[in-house]
Structures are given as structure tokens and as C-alpha cells.
Structure 1
């Protein structure tokens, strides 16, 4: 069914794309492109998105080059935002239907398709200008500042305001049930600041649903010691008490100050099951996406397990991208040894790239 729909999309898309002239005279050569692409790696998701959009506006890229850049993003919404912006100046718009392949979720491919059919003559959008919420869209809470935060962290660094707003754009108009499901996925797949999660929770009408989202988001909070500030999203004392009980460890598997913390570990038997599922796929592109989809359900891979996953890819660029992706899903106690993952690379330039990436993570 999915293949049939994508075939229909492709036929319709090519019909109007062929009628357009190339929007730029000469695409970047492979050497030029690889050099510019290298500059994008190592940034956090928000900065990477801004830099990628700027590159698409300032350079002439082919559809395949746009696909390569889109794959640098971990977040599906960042991929969507980038591919929408990049279309305005792509060299070969008649081939742009191939970009659908960068999405692991079919719904995201549908969104790009809808965008292209409704806005195929759009002009580039300034990527530096953040997508700011309408005045009054978020409640006037006392949002904690994470810029100089140095306490306990559950993830690398929060996504930028640009990515945050772009990600929520398609969620805000949903009904409560759909909104809850989408927001739960969003907070599970991104590193967020307490202030951002407070804004996310405020989009829900039900305080029970707000509590659900706050609990779900905990493992992906950057400024953990500020998380009690999220209590402001509740008006009823019962929900305030439940949230504080969660933070104090009552009913929480991941409390702020756990008295009996669970061991952060992916058991060998479970890891072997992961490998079996991944190794069933021979196409390296599909294998890369499958690996990401499976591993995002874990937070405690050991360095040796990460090395095994990285080594499973035969192409150096995929090894590097996978190594960067898995960092946030590695046992925090072992992350200081993450440089050892570089032993799986064939080229010193790739090891340097990983080292630069780790420097942005504080390693």
C-alpha cells in the first residue's frame, strides 16, 4: 500500500516538476559538497538546521545532496523543515520525490508531499529568524533559564527554539487525544529544557495529560534540577502533589534522587535480539534507519555495544553518523570512554570528526 501511494505521489510530482526550470545554474561537485557537508556535522540539531538551510540557499544542490544532508538530522521534524526549505533552490526539482525516502514515518512523507503540492513555487525562508510563538500562545510561567545550567543532565543539549517551534507547528491544531500521542513522541525523541517541556505541557487542556507528558519527558530533560519548576503547569493541588511525588521517587522509575537506582544496562540477550533484527536488512540505507528506530528505545548501551553497532556498517559516513546518533543512548557513566568508538573507523579524518563532535558534548 505504501509503495503504491508513493508511486502515485511520484507521478503527480514529476508532472509539475518537469514544467519548472532549474532554480540554480550548476550543482556543487562531490568534493565541494562533501567539504561543506563536513562543516554541518558536530552541531546540535538546531544549529545544524540553520546551517543546512543556509547552505541550500547559498549553494546549488542536487536532490541526492539534499537527501544526504537531511540524513544528518536525528529528528524527523528537522528533516521535514529542511527538505521543505531546500526545495525552493534545488537543481533538479523533477527528482525531488526521492527525498521521501529520508523519512522513517510515512506520515512525514505525506506532509512533505502536501507541502510540495501546495507550495511548489515558494521562495526561501530566512533560516536565521526563529519561528516565534504568537504573543500569549504560551502561559506566562516563570520559565527557568538553562543557558548557564551546570547541574544534573539527562541528555546532551536542548534543541533550538527554531527546531522546537517547527516541530510543534503541525501538532498544535490536533485534538486532545492526537495531540497527547504526538507530544509524547516528541518529548521522547528530543533533548529538551524544562522551559520547553512546560510549553509542551501547556498545549494540553487536561492536567492528567500534562502530568503524563511531564513524566514521559523526564529521561530527556537537560536541566534536571530545574524540573520542579514544571509544577506551574498544574492548577489543582492533587496534580501538583503527584508530580512532586514523581520527582521525589514515589512511583517513578527514574526519580531525581532515586534511593534504589536501577542499573543502566542493556542485557546481552536483549542486545543480541537487537542485532538479529538489524542484520536482517541488507540495504545499508534501510539498515541505518532500522537501527535508529530500534536503538531509540534504549538509553544504556555500553561502549562495546555501540562499537558493535557502528562496526556493522561498511560505509564510513554511515559509521560516523551512527556513532553520533548513539551517543545519547549510551550509558552516561561510560560516555567519557566514547572516544574508543573511533577505533571502528578506517580514516583518521573520521576519528577527528567524532572527536570534534564529542567536544561539543563536553567530552
Structure 2
């Protein structure tokens, strides 16, 4: 009797959990069916759902039927693959495509490269406490990276240049940089991209993991020497020793103290004091400078902040904070003299 009750309880639990799973997908499916949404909104909802929820192949096929475009089906399937529960059935998805080339591209970017991916040892950024810079003080969240990664890869002009552009506008973990680098076939392109990406990595001392992506021994040794040289230079850089990097809470306090000053003269004086004593990234300098209305004050702060800025190669981007051509020319001349 007890065994029968136990078996019935277990069966109810299985049915209940299946019902919850089905209910969640059915709710999503009903939302896709709403005619009030445009095709772009429906696509965004499908990408968002597949990024944050486990999904069966049958459900993925069902969701793809809402789209006539093979390119949109491809985006959803690539995005959903990491969360697919029954990957052994993923081959059924290829029948959805009229375009053979997109079906093959889907295969190569999902099932075909799983064996290669499993051989790569990726660093864990969660417990990293090594060398960092103000230019990259918090890596992008993984779910956000996945969405942007898929968006970048689906561009028609996807190449090393578009990857560089994506990297230069974000702070990434070494693992995320490795994922982007893996999409390149040429080892020289990979080597070039890794050199470019180094300053945009949060966990700099984990960057040695990237050597796994280079098979050519000559290029591998060049990469290792490059990382050695960059880390040694950053450790010995007087700019980092002469100024003190701020935590996010400290920086928030500095910015608020500047904002709270009622008189522009005192606000400028306080900003100068903080800039002289601390290291500020491009993003943080921009935020401080935008607290001032006059180009003259902005230019004075920009010149003062250059010395302690850790990512000077991007300092030219701050030109946009100035309004008048005369001050922009003076800013350009200042950089040329440096």
C-alpha cells in the first residue's frame, strides 16, 4: 500500500513538473501569436526566451514556424542551442530551412564545433583578483554577451574588423574574447585579434589561456611574449603607481561630490583635485567632464586627466565632449604634442 502511494506521488510530481514546463512554453507561444506585435518584436521575444529558458527541439521547431525567413530561423536556432535539452534531436531542425547554405552554417556553428570547444580550457572570471585596469573594471554579463555575440555574427559584413569594433566598445572577460576569436579561421587573424583585445580584457592575467587558440608554435610564442611584456609594463608603469584607481562606490562618491557643488568655480577646483590624485578611465573622464557647461573648463580638465588615464590610446574619443571647433582643434593639437 505504501509503495503504491509512493509511486502515485512520484507520478504526480512528474506530471506536475511537465505541466509547469509546458505551461511556460505555451504562454510564450501564445505571446508570439499576438497579432499586435510587429515581426521585429516577435523576433526579439523569441531570442529573449531562447536565451533564458531551457527548450526542447520540438518546441524550437514550433517557435521557428512563426518565421518565414531562413535568416531569422538561423538566429533563433544558434541563440537557443546552448539551452537545448535534447541536443541529440537537433538534426531535425535542419529540415526547417529552404537555404542549404544557412542549414550548413547552423550545423558548423552548433553541433560541428562541439568537439573542438570541449578541448578548450576556459578561465573562470568569477574568482579573479589579479591585475585589472580602469578601462575594464566589470566584464559584460554572459547573457548579454550571448545576445550581442549572436547579433554581431549575423551581420553580413562579419569579419575581424567588426569583431574589433565590438570588443573596443565593451569590457569583456578573457573567456568571452576567446569565444569571439574562435570564430576566425586564420591563425594570423586570431593572433592579430588577441593582441588588439588584450587591453579590453578584465582578467588580464588569465589572458595566457588564449594561447590554446593558436596552433602555430611561432605565433604562439609571439603571443606569450606579448602578454608577458604587456603585463610587466603595466606592473611597472609609473602612471599606475602615481595614481590610485577607484572602486565603483568611491567613483560614485567623487562624481556626486562634484555634482553637489553649486558654484562652477568650486566644482572645477574639486574636479581638478580628484583628477590629479586618481586614475580615471575614458568613460569616467567623460562623465566628469559632462558636468561642466563651458568648453574652456572641459578642455582644462581633459588636458589634466590625460597623464593618469590608463587607456591613452582611446583618449581621442573625448573630443566629442567639446562643442566648438576652436576648442576641438586645441584638443587635437594637445594630443599631437603628446
Bucket of the pairwise TM-score, normalised by the shorter protein? 0.3 to 0.5
Which structure ranks higher in relative contact order (CA pairs < 8 Å, sequence separation ≥ 6)? 1
Instruction: Please say which structure displays the higher CA radius of gyration.
Output: 2
Higher helix share: 2
Q: TM-score, normalised on structure 2?
A: 0.42
